[in-house]
A and B are shown apart, each in its own frame.
Chain A
Amino acid sequence: GDSVTQMEGPVTLSEEAFLTINCTYTATGYPSLFWYVQYPGEGLQLLLKATKADDKGSNKGFEATYRKETTSFHLEKGSVQVSDSAVYFCALGGSNYKLTFGKGTLLTVNP
């Protein structure tokens, strides 16, 4: 079945550092890929998406590229801020409309 494996945290960075959170997936067919973010005390929010191979999703300075050859969708940001502290979830949308999530990566950014 479909599955998502993402880098385990927690990840602690200083402000303005470069961020990478790795995500790989296993799926049949041609899934869509997503990054969701959960800020403290809030619900899940869609951060970015990519619906086909080589698509790049981007939002709020975050980027991720759909790499079919490596089955990956790594999240990157060039310069993190304290306000980026949250839990980040990689997710896959397969053929039956449900989302399959990774376990989440807690990011803490210190000033």
Chain B
Amino acid sequence: DTGVSQNPRHKITKRGQNVTFRCDPISEHNRLYWYRQTLGQGPEFLTYFQNEAQLEKSRLLSDRFSAERPKGSFSTLEIQRTEQGDSAMYLCASSLQTSTPYEQYFGPGTRLTVT
């Protein structure tokens, strides 16, 4: 296992369409996180899972966004009725449930462009 993987790497969609991204964490990591990064800014936390349970959601995660991790392995992030303001890099990270849970390993990201 070489790290966190994300698919697709790039997605261009028209406003109003739905999109879904996938994240495969490092295999033994039981925590999984989603972040959003816009141009010139640092990543902003969206949500996180411990195993299959979604334990926290940011206020940034409007009701058009939904994330799942059905079997505690891979996760999906869906955006419904996309808006131009959703254009960003969506990052996934994973970590082990240890005494340093913040040592998160990031995937390469999915860049979303909404036209």
Contacts and interface: CB of A to CB of B under 8 A. Distances in A.
Interface string A78-107: 000000000001010100111111111000
B108 interface: yes
A45 B43 contact: no
A34 B104 CA distance: 10
A88 to B, nearest CB: 10
B108 A42 contact: yes
A102 B44 CA distance: 9
A45 B105 CA distance: 7
B41 A46 contact: no
A102 B37 CA distance: 11
B85 interface: no
Contacts of A32: 100, 102
Given A32-B100, A96-B56, A46 B105 contact: yes
Q: Is the interface of A mostly helix, strand, loop or mixed?
A: strand
A51 interface: yes
Contact of A102 (B42, B45, B101, B107): B42
A91 B103 CA distance: 11
Contact of A103 (B35, B41, B104, B105): B41
B42 A93 contact: no
Interface string B34-51: 010000111111001000
B18 to A, nearest CB: 25
Contacts of A98: 33, 45, 48, 56, 58
Interface of B: 4, 31, 33, 35, 40-45, 48, 55-56, 58, 91, 93, 95, 100-109
The 4 closest A-B pairs by CB, nearest first: A93-B102, A101-B42, A98-B45, A44-B106
Given A4-B42, A43-B109, A49-B100, 14 more contacts: A34-B102, A43-B108, A49-B102, A51-B100, A91-B102, A96-B56, A97-B33, A97-B95, A98-B33, A98-B48, A100-B45, A102-B42, A103-B40, A104-B40
